[in-house]
Amino acid sequence: MQIGKIPGRSAMYLVLCVVILVIFYFAALYPHQRSLDTVKAKTAQVTNLIDKQRALLPLYEEMVKRGENKILGTLPVPDIKALSRVDIDTVSPMFKKMADESGMQVVSIRPDVLSLTGASDDMVVTIHLRGRFFDFRKFLVEVGGVSSLKRVEEIDIRQETGHKEFHLTVRLAIG
Kindly list the averaged pLDDT for each block of 10 residues, start to end, along the chain of length 175.
68 88 89 90 95 91 78 65 83 92 92 74 91 90 88 90 89 86
Q: What is the pLDDT of residue 69?
A: 65
Q: What is the pLDDT of residue 161?
A: 81
- What does CATH list as the number for 85-173? 3.30.70.60
Q: What is the pLDDT of residue 94?
A: 92
Q: Exposure string (b/e) for 18-48, b if CB count within 10 Å is 16 or more? A: eeeeeeeeeeeeeeeeeeeeeeeeeeeeeee
**Which residues fall within 8 angstroms of residue 92, CB to CB, at 6 or more apart?**
109, 111
Q: What is the pLDDT of residue 43?
A: 95
Q: What is the pLDDT of residue 79?
A: 78
Q: What is the pLDDT of residue 41?
A: 94
How many CB atoms sit inside 10 A of residue 58's CB? Answer: 9
